[in-house]
Structure 1
Protein backbone atom coordinates (compact mmCIF):
# COMPACT_ATOMS: atom_id res chain seq x y z
CA UNK A 1 0.00 0.00 0.00
CA UNK A 2 2.91 2.41 0.68
CA UNK A 3 3.81 2.31 -3.02
CA UNK A 4 0.48 3.95 -3.83
CA UNK A 5 1.19 6.90 -1.54
CA UNK A 6 4.55 7.42 -3.25
CA UNK A 7 2.98 6.96 -6.71
CA UNK A 8 0.14 9.44 -6.13
CA UNK A 9 2.45 12.01 -4.54
CA UNK A 10 4.95 11.57 -7.38
CA UNK A 11 2.24 11.97 -9.99
CA UNK A 12 1.04 15.20 -8.38
CA UNK A 13 4.58 16.56 -8.12
CA UNK A 14 5.39 15.64 -11.72
CA UNK A 15 2.25 17.31 -13.06
CA UNK A 16 3.02 20.46 -11.08
CA UNK A 17 6.58 20.48 -12.42
CA UNK A 18 5.24 20.12 -15.97
CA UNK A 19 2.84 23.01 -15.32
CA UNK A 20 5.78 25.19 -14.25
CA UNK A 21 7.55 24.33 -17.50
CA UNK A 22 4.52 25.68 -19.38
CA UNK A 23 4.14 28.93 -17.47
CA UNK A 24 7.77 29.90 -16.77
CA UNK A 25 9.78 30.84 -19.86
CA UNK A 26 13.42 29.93 -20.38
CA UNK A 27 14.82 33.45 -20.51
CA UNK A 28 18.16 33.93 -22.27
CA UNK A 29 18.76 30.18 -22.32
CA UNK A 30 18.63 29.83 -18.51
CA UNK A 31 16.56 26.80 -17.40
CA UNK A 32 14.21 28.76 -15.11
CA UNK A 33 11.44 26.12 -14.88
CA UNK A 34 13.75 23.46 -13.44
CA UNK A 35 15.51 26.00 -11.23
CA UNK A 36 12.21 27.24 -9.75
CA UNK A 37 10.88 23.69 -9.26
CA UNK A 38 14.05 22.60 -7.49
CA UNK A 39 14.18 25.63 -5.16
CA UNK A 40 10.46 25.36 -4.34
CA UNK A 41 10.90 21.62 -3.82
CA UNK A 42 13.73 22.30 -1.37
CA UNK A 43 11.52 24.73 0.53
CA UNK A 44 8.70 22.16 0.57
CA UNK A 45 10.89 19.33 1.83
CA UNK A 46 12.18 21.62 4.60
CA UNK A 47 8.62 22.51 5.59
CA UNK A 48 7.45 18.90 5.42
CA UNK A 49 10.47 17.66 7.40
CA UNK A 50 9.84 20.28 10.06
CA UNK A 51 6.17 19.36 10.13
CA UNK A 52 7.01 15.70 10.76
CA UNK A 53 9.60 16.58 13.41
CA UNK A 54 7.13 18.87 15.17
CA UNK A 55 4.10 16.57 14.95
CA UNK A 56 5.39 13.10 15.72
CA UNK A 57 1.88 11.64 15.42
CA UNK A 58 1.53 12.24 11.67
CA UNK A 59 1.04 9.20 9.48
CA UNK A 60 4.12 7.62 7.91
CA UNK A 61 2.00 7.30 4.76
CA UNK A 62 1.58 11.08 4.66
CA UNK A 63 5.37 11.40 4.80
CA UNK A 64 5.69 8.94 1.90
CA UNK A 65 3.12 10.94 -0.06
CA UNK A 66 4.63 14.39 0.61
CA UNK A 67 8.38 13.85 0.94
CA UNK A 68 9.17 10.78 -1.16
CA UNK A 69 6.34 11.09 -3.66
CA UNK A 70 5.49 14.76 -4.14
CA UNK A 71 8.95 16.27 -3.58
CA UNK A 72 10.60 13.43 -5.49
CA UNK A 73 8.28 13.93 -8.46
CA UNK A 74 8.38 17.73 -8.33
CA UNK A 75 12.15 18.19 -8.18
CA UNK A 76 14.44 16.69 -10.74
CA UNK A 77 18.15 16.10 -10.46
CA UNK A 78 18.37 14.29 -13.79
CA UNK A 79 16.95 17.27 -15.70
CA UNK A 80 19.23 19.59 -13.71
CA UNK A 81 22.27 17.51 -14.68
CA UNK A 82 21.20 17.32 -18.34
CA UNK A 83 20.64 21.09 -18.53
CA UNK A 84 24.06 21.73 -16.99
CA UNK A 85 25.66 19.43 -19.53
CA UNK A 86 23.85 21.26 -22.37
CA UNK A 87 25.14 24.61 -21.06
CA UNK A 88 28.68 23.23 -20.98
CA UNK A 89 28.41 21.73 -24.45
CA UNK A 90 27.14 25.02 -25.88
CA UNK A 91 30.07 26.88 -24.34
CA UNK A 92 27.97 28.84 -21.83
CA UNK A 93 30.45 28.35 -18.99
CA UNK A 94 29.31 31.40 -17.01
CA UNK A 95 25.66 30.36 -17.18
CA UNK A 96 26.63 26.81 -16.19
CA UNK A 97 28.49 28.08 -13.11
CA UNK A 98 25.67 30.46 -12.17
CA UNK A 99 22.98 27.77 -12.56
CA UNK A 100 24.89 25.08 -10.66
CA UNK A 101 25.98 27.35 -7.79
CA UNK A 102 22.67 29.18 -7.47
CA UNK A 103 20.77 25.88 -7.46
CA UNK A 104 22.98 24.44 -4.74
CA UNK A 105 23.18 27.53 -2.52
CA UNK A 106 19.53 28.54 -2.85
CA UNK A 107 18.39 24.91 -2.57
CA UNK A 108 20.14 24.44 0.76
CA UNK A 109 18.94 27.86 1.93
CA UNK A 110 15.34 27.07 0.92
CA UNK A 111 15.44 23.75 2.77
CA UNK A 112 16.79 25.51 5.87
CA UNK A 113 14.13 28.21 5.49
CA UNK A 114 11.43 25.55 5.42
CA UNK A 115 12.71 24.05 8.65
CA UNK A 116 13.00 27.52 10.17
CA UNK A 117 9.40 28.32 9.19
CA UNK A 118 8.36 25.19 11.04
CA UNK A 119 10.20 26.31 14.17
CA UNK A 120 13.48 24.38 13.84
CA UNK A 121 16.89 26.01 13.94
CA UNK A 122 19.32 23.22 13.18
Structure 2
Protein backbone atom coordinates (compact mmCIF):
# COMPACT_ATOMS: atom_id res chain seq x y z
CA UNK A 1 0.00 0.00 0.00
CA UNK A 2 2.81 2.42 0.89
CA UNK A 3 4.58 1.78 -2.41
CA UNK A 4 1.34 2.44 -4.30
CA UNK A 5 0.83 5.74 -2.46
CA UNK A 6 4.44 6.77 -3.10
CA UNK A 7 4.03 5.99 -6.80
CA UNK A 8 0.78 7.96 -6.94
CA UNK A 9 2.38 10.91 -5.16
CA UNK A 10 5.30 10.90 -7.61
CA UNK A 11 2.90 10.85 -10.57
CA UNK A 12 0.91 13.76 -9.13
CA UNK A 13 4.10 15.73 -8.44
CA UNK A 14 5.45 15.12 -11.96
CA UNK A 15 2.18 16.21 -13.59
CA UNK A 16 2.11 19.27 -11.32
CA UNK A 17 5.72 20.19 -12.09
CA UNK A 18 5.21 19.79 -15.83
CA UNK A 19 1.94 21.66 -15.56
CA UNK A 20 3.52 24.61 -13.77
CA UNK A 21 6.24 24.92 -16.40
CA UNK A 22 3.73 24.59 -19.25
CA UNK A 23 1.39 27.18 -17.75
CA UNK A 24 4.22 29.68 -17.30
CA UNK A 25 5.44 29.11 -20.85
CA UNK A 26 1.92 29.57 -22.22
CA UNK A 27 1.40 32.74 -20.20
CA UNK A 28 4.66 34.26 -21.43
CA UNK A 29 3.98 33.46 -25.08
CA UNK A 30 0.37 34.66 -24.86
CA UNK A 31 1.35 37.97 -23.23
CA UNK A 32 4.03 38.54 -25.86
CA UNK A 33 1.92 37.67 -28.92
CA UNK A 34 -1.59 38.75 -27.91
CA UNK A 35 -0.64 42.41 -27.54
CA UNK A 36 -0.09 42.76 -31.28
CA UNK A 37 -3.46 42.22 -32.99
CA UNK A 38 -7.15 41.39 -32.69
CA UNK A 39 -6.57 37.69 -33.38
CA UNK A 40 -5.32 35.88 -30.24
CA UNK A 41 -2.04 34.78 -31.85
CA UNK A 42 -0.58 33.60 -28.54
CA UNK A 43 -3.24 30.95 -28.04
CA UNK A 44 -2.96 29.89 -31.66
CA UNK A 45 0.83 29.63 -31.36
CA UNK A 46 0.84 27.58 -28.15
CA UNK A 47 -1.84 25.22 -29.44
CA UNK A 48 0.02 24.62 -32.72
CA UNK A 49 3.32 24.16 -30.88
CA UNK A 50 1.56 21.82 -28.46
CA UNK A 51 0.20 19.69 -31.32
CA UNK A 52 3.66 19.40 -32.82
CA UNK A 53 5.51 18.81 -29.55
CA UNK A 54 3.08 16.21 -28.20
CA UNK A 55 3.12 14.23 -31.45
CA UNK A 56 6.92 14.41 -31.69
CA UNK A 57 7.38 13.51 -28.04
CA UNK A 58 4.95 10.60 -28.03
CA UNK A 59 6.20 9.20 -31.32
CA UNK A 60 9.77 9.08 -30.02
CA UNK A 61 9.28 8.39 -26.31
CA UNK A 62 6.50 5.80 -26.47
CA UNK A 63 8.71 3.66 -28.65
CA UNK A 64 11.04 3.36 -25.64
CA UNK A 65 9.02 4.03 -22.45
CA UNK A 66 5.63 3.06 -21.05
CA UNK A 67 2.92 5.69 -21.08
CA UNK A 68 2.76 5.70 -17.28
CA UNK A 69 6.40 6.65 -16.73
CA UNK A 70 6.97 9.77 -14.64
CA UNK A 71 8.75 11.52 -17.51
CA UNK A 72 5.93 10.84 -19.98
CA UNK A 73 3.36 12.09 -17.47
CA UNK A 74 5.35 15.24 -16.70
CA UNK A 75 5.72 16.19 -20.35
CA UNK A 76 2.47 15.00 -21.96
CA UNK A 77 -0.18 15.45 -19.28
CA UNK A 78 1.67 18.11 -17.28
CA UNK A 79 3.57 20.41 -19.64
CA UNK A 80 1.63 20.03 -22.89
CA UNK A 81 -1.69 19.69 -21.06
CA UNK A 82 -1.28 23.07 -19.37
CA UNK A 83 0.57 24.68 -22.29
CA UNK A 84 -2.33 24.15 -24.69
CA UNK A 85 -5.97 25.00 -24.17
CA UNK A 86 -9.22 24.28 -25.93
CA UNK A 87 -11.24 26.47 -23.57
CA UNK A 88 -9.27 29.57 -24.59
CA UNK A 89 -9.94 28.80 -28.26
CA UNK A 90 -13.66 28.65 -27.52
CA UNK A 91 -13.82 31.83 -25.45
CA UNK A 92 -11.61 33.85 -27.80
CA UNK A 93 -13.66 32.70 -30.80
CA UNK A 94 -16.90 33.80 -29.13
CA UNK A 95 -15.36 37.19 -28.31
CA UNK A 96 -14.16 37.63 -31.89
CA UNK A 97 -17.56 36.59 -33.28
CA UNK A 98 -19.26 39.42 -31.41
CA UNK A 99 -17.50 42.02 -33.58
CA UNK A 100 -15.46 40.28 -36.26
CA UNK A 101 -17.11 37.06 -37.42
CA UNK A 102 -14.75 36.71 -40.38
CA UNK A 103 -11.71 36.85 -38.06
CA UNK A 104 -13.31 34.32 -35.71
CA UNK A 105 -13.89 31.89 -38.57
CA UNK A 106 -10.34 32.44 -39.84
CA UNK A 107 -8.98 31.83 -36.34
CA UNK A 108 -10.87 28.54 -36.00
CA UNK A 109 -9.83 27.44 -39.49
CA UNK A 110 -6.18 28.24 -38.76
CA UNK A 111 -6.29 26.51 -35.39
CA UNK A 112 -7.73 23.21 -36.56
CA UNK A 113 -6.11 23.03 -40.01
CA UNK A 114 -2.64 23.88 -38.81
CA UNK A 115 -3.14 21.90 -35.60
CA UNK A 116 -3.57 18.78 -37.72
CA UNK A 117 -0.59 19.72 -39.90
CA UNK A 118 1.60 20.33 -36.83
CA UNK A 119 0.56 16.99 -35.34
CA UNK A 120 1.44 15.24 -38.60
CA UNK A 121 4.79 17.11 -38.76
CA UNK A 122 5.62 16.07 -35.19
CA UNK A 123 4.93 12.44 -36.06
CA UNK A 124 7.01 12.74 -39.23
CA UNK A 125 9.96 14.26 -37.37
CA UNK A 126 9.64 11.62 -34.64
CA UNK A 127 9.83 8.88 -37.25
CA UNK A 128 12.81 10.59 -38.86
CA UNK A 129 14.60 10.73 -35.49
CA UNK A 130 13.75 7.08 -34.82
CA UNK A 131 14.86 6.08 -38.31
CA UNK A 132 11.61 4.23 -38.96
CA UNK A 133 9.87 4.27 -42.31
CA UNK A 134 6.26 5.24 -42.81
CA UNK A 135 5.36 1.61 -43.39
CA UNK A 136 7.02 0.64 -40.12
CA UNK A 137 5.53 3.13 -37.69
CA UNK A 138 3.25 6.13 -37.77
CA UNK A 139 2.23 8.08 -34.69
CA UNK A 140 -1.33 6.76 -34.90
CA UNK A 141 0.06 3.29 -34.30
CA UNK A 142 2.13 4.56 -31.39
CA UNK A 143 -0.76 6.43 -29.76
CA UNK A 144 -3.32 3.64 -30.09
CA UNK A 145 -1.27 0.48 -30.28
CA UNK A 146 -1.00 -1.66 -27.19
CA UNK A 147 0.79 0.83 -24.95
CA UNK A 148 -2.24 3.01 -24.26
CA UNK A 149 -2.47 6.77 -24.21
CA UNK A 150 -3.24 9.58 -21.77
* Length-normalised TM-score, structure 1: 0.90
92, 96, 101: which is aligned to 1:87? 96
Q: Could you tell me how far 1:71 is from its partner in structure 2?
A: 0.3
Structure 1 match to 2:110: 102
Local SS of the residue matching 1:107: helix
Total equivalences in the alignment: 121
Q: CA deviation at 1:24?
A: 1.7
Residue 43 (structure 2) aligns with: 34
Query: RMSD of the alignment, in Å?
Result: 1.7
Q: Structure 1 pair 86/58, CA: closer, same or farther in 2 (3 Å)?
A: closer
Task: Give the superposition deviation at 1:16.
Answer: 0.2
Shift of 1:57: 6.3
Query: Comparing both chains, which one has the higher relative contact order based on Cα–Cα distances under 8 Å and sequence gaps of 6 or more?
Result: 1
Q: 2:142 — aligned with what?
A: none
Counterpart residue number, 1:47: 56
Question: Are residues 1:14 and 2:48 paired?
Answer: no
Q: 1:23 aligns with which of 27, 32, 43?
A: 32
Q: Which runs of 5+ in 1 are unaligned?
A: none
Which one has a larger percent helix, Structure 1 or Structure 2? 1
List alignment gaps of at least 5 residues for structure 2. Answer: 1-8, 139-150
